[in-house]
Amino acid sequence: MTKVESAAGLGDARGLVKLDQVELDLQGMTCASCAARIEKKLNKLPGANATVNFATEKASVTFDPAVVSTEEMLAAVTAIGYGAELVKDEPDEEPAAGGGHSRDHAAELLQRLVLSAALAVPVLLLSMIPQLEFRNWQWLAFTLATPVVFWGGLPFHKAAWASAKHLSFSMDTLISMGSLAAYGWSIYALFFTKAGDQGFRMNFSFTGATSHMHPDIYLETASVVVAVILFGRYLEAKGKRRSGSAISDLASGGSVTVAVLDMDGRETLRVSRELKVGDRFLVRAGEKVGTDGVVESGEANVDFSLLTGESLPRRVAEGDEIVGGAVNIDGRLVVRATRVGSETAMAQLAKIVADAQAKKADVQHLVDKISSVFVPVVILLSIGTAVVRLFAGDSMQAAFTAAVAVLIIACPCAMGLATPMALLVGTGRAAQLGILIRGPEVLESARQIDTVILDKTGTVTTGRMSVVGAISMGDTTEAELAAMAAAAEAGSRHPLARALLVHADELDVDVPEAEAVVAVAGQGVSATVNGVSVVVGKLSFCEENGLVAPEDPARYREASHGPVSLVYVGWGGAVRGIFEIADQIRPDSRAAIGALKRLGTEVILLTGDSREAAEAVGRELAVNQVIADVSPEGKGQVVDELLGKGKRVAMVGDGINDAAALAKATLGISVGGGTDVAKEASDLTVFGGGVAGVVDAIRIARRTLGTIRGNLFWAFAYNAAAIPLAALGLVNPVLAGAAMAFSSVFVVGNSVRLFSFQRARID
């Protein structure tokens, strides 16, 4: 259960209301109308705000525990004929891929489908082929059709009855009414008219003409419609199960048995979900890492593809962080657990993606409103069709056939599945590639982007900086310069700081302790070292802190070569030296920037580094514009200026100094490991691939949005065309059932195609 703080917003004295958030696993939903009913019922509870996702069969509820309880929520769902269970944050057992409920439902549908098809096909053949008929064969058809209608169609009848008890309707209402109407009319004809003594043949034409089919018997319609719709439901269930498998894989990716080491180095086998923070465990070659941690000893190549989507392994050694679910390819590692259970990177990723899948796109709210009234409208249309055709002079048989066809062909399922299925598959596939999409609104933002701003360090470059040159002034030695700089930067995680620390280590100098450390984002660090005030950072930052700059700073810039950053170090009132720090450009950055341009965007390089270093990188990467010497606040101002010009801006960054710009941009994208602040401020997170990963993130977001639009077009176009055709008698009930099943399967299948999305080829 998640805790959420929210302003009361009611003008009372409660201030912040402590809200809880839970997820309910729902059973018994068969269409979007069911989802709308459950959502409406939950939202009627005081203090509850619910969103029901038909595709995932879950409800996400934010509520005030002082006003309503989870037991009341479960009771409310049960009261209207559906099942509900509370989803636990940390289940005792790992779920099967795709979810056990989904698997059992698909297995039950398959069982009903096989038997129903085996019985319905002979009825269909007997009705279509006169040569197969024999005396009183209609009674064999009746015997075969009866279990199909009542046992095969039992899920539809039960759901329809549950809805009827609460004076509501669902898709099952239409199926149940249509099949029972056809069966009931046939029973009347067989037992109470001369039809029972006559042969009958089904008309399978699109025109609904009745050349030689007996007008009173519809056993083939009743049985075949049930079998066809069961087939559609089975394919739909399989598609939905596969669609949820990506997140199930993420959630259970780290579930393994690990060898935990005690103080004496003895091994004890333990399930990874039982690990505690601080536990030391062994990871041998070929084994999965049990949970997030830090490598205490050993070196190995590790496959992080479950998190980043990248196939190339990464070398890890002592002091490196590692995530649960990663695979040790070679070597032997001893890892100390730092995050366990629901706090691990995989668990957090799975939760964020699941939350995104539970959200609704703006268009989905319109679809929900239509679905909530769709079924009763269709029932009225069916009755109206029969009445109008009778008044127009049609036979009872023609009017009845058209009315049943209208009942069966109408399908709000396709409308209800159009958005959530595409979102489910798109976000799941993105997660497999190491791309985190936070919600459906991100998809629309990605479509609109015309300008991409790239941070330099760690985005277009590797972020692994190193000192390539040092200039000492006066009688200051390079060792003394390195020691003072490393002391001031010892507590920083900035790539420049790490480069200075590594350089001091390479020179084998003693680094003293620093006190009164003050870091100014994008500028530098000041600290007291051995009683002396030391300043490390930009030249302007040193001057602001009272240090006298070199007489000719331009001379030192000219001494620099290539895309390097200059870090000034000073104390005692003067700048004492300069470090040249270089960062290697990612091999695929230039090609990836070309791919961004082909997506219709202008690319801007934005950095706090010096103009000389930034422009050198910009020339090498062929960006459209370079903006350098920018503070963190300045980055946000650059975004504001572009937005003010009507641009749709994507900001790409990985550090705290990018957070403001990420939050302000039309689309915020954090890359690499990034910082927690950067991730929280972003709409998309790319865990691997640098700029190439950004290209893939925009592509899959746009592709998912395109799939949603295609699904919605099909769903609305289908109903707009199918219902009039059925009302006009141009489609008989059997074909209506096939068309209805196909519409849902089409939407599911079209969504599942997103699993074929592949990374862009960056050459």
pLDDT in tens, 719-738: 788 889 888 888 877 777 77
| Residue at token pair 């302000």 | 664
Q: Please give the residue range of the domain that contains residue 750.
A: 101-245+354-424+707-755
Whether residue 573 sits in one domain with residue 496: yes
Whether residue 367 sits in one domain with residue 480: no
Domain boundary, last residue among 343, 371, 392:
343
Q: Which DSSP string corresponds to 360-390? A: --HHHHHHHHHHHHHHHHHHHHHHHHHHHHH
CATH code of the domain covering residue 467: 3.40.1110.10
Whether residue 233 sits in one domain with residue 124: yes
pLDDT at 132 over 90: no
- Provide φ and ψ at 210, rounded to 5°: -125, 65
Q: How many domains does the chain have?
A: 5
Whether residue 466 sits in one domain with residue 382: no
Domain boundary, last residue among 692, 717, 738:
692
Q: What is the pLDDT of residue 451?
A: 93
How many angstroms separate the CA atoms of 71 and 60, rounded? Answer: 15
Write the pLDDT tens digit of every residue in 451-476: 999 887 777 877 677 888 888 888 88
Does the residue 250 lie in any domain?
no
Whether residue 565 sits in one domain with residue 496: yes
- C-alpha distances in angstroms, 65 versus 3, 48, 75, 132, 506? 10, 9, 15, 67, 58
Whether residue 238 sits in one domain with residue 107: yes
Does the residue 763 lie in any domain?
no
Per the CB < 8 A criterion, the answer to whether 19 and 2 are in contact is: no
How many angstroms separate the CA atoms of 493 and 468, rounded? Answer: 19
Does the residue 430 lie in any domain?
no
CATH code of the domain covering residue 76: 3.30.70.100
Position 678 confidence tier, pLDDT thresholds 50, 70, 90: very low
Does the residue 539 lie in any domain?
yes
**More confident: 688 or 274:** 274
Does the residue 760 lie in any domain?
no
Q: What is the pLDDT of residue 388?
A: 92
How many angstroms separate the CA atoms of 270 and 35, rounded? Answer: 41
Write the pLDDT tens digit of every residue in 197-246: 444 333 333 333 333 344 457 788 788 878 877 887 787 777 666 655 55
Does the residue 466 lie in any domain?
yes
Whether residue 470 sits in one domain with residue 374: no
Does the residue 349 lie in any domain?
no
How many angstroms separate the CA atoms of 240 and 748, rounded? Answer: 7
Whether residue 156 sits in one domain with residue 53: no
Whether residue 225 sits in one domain with residue 213: yes
CATH code of the domain covering residue 309: 2.70.150.10
Whether residue 314 sits in one domain with residue 399: no
How many angstroms separate the CA atoms of 233 and 295, rounded? Answer: 49
Q: What is the pLDDT of residue 91?
A: 42
Quickly count: other Cβ atoms within 10 Å of residue 395's Cβ. Answer: 12
- Provide φ and ψ at 64, rounded to 5°: -95, 110
Position 97 confidence tier, pLDDT thresholds 50, 70, 90: very low
Whether residue 593 sits in one domain with residue 678: yes
Does the residue 420 lie in any domain?
yes
**Which residues are marked as active site?**
455
| Strand-pair partners of 333 | 283
The 10 Å CB-count burial string (b at 16+, else e) for 139-151 is eebbebbbbbbee
Write the pLDDT tens digit of every residue in 248-307: 655 555 567 888 888 877 888 888 778 888 888 988 888 888 888 899 888 888 887 666
Q: What is the pLDDT of residue 399?
A: 86
Write the pLDDT tens digit of every residue in 175-205: 888 888 888 888 877 877 654 444 433 333 3
Domain boundary, last residue among 343, 370, 387:
343
Whether residue 324 sits in one domain with residue 291: yes
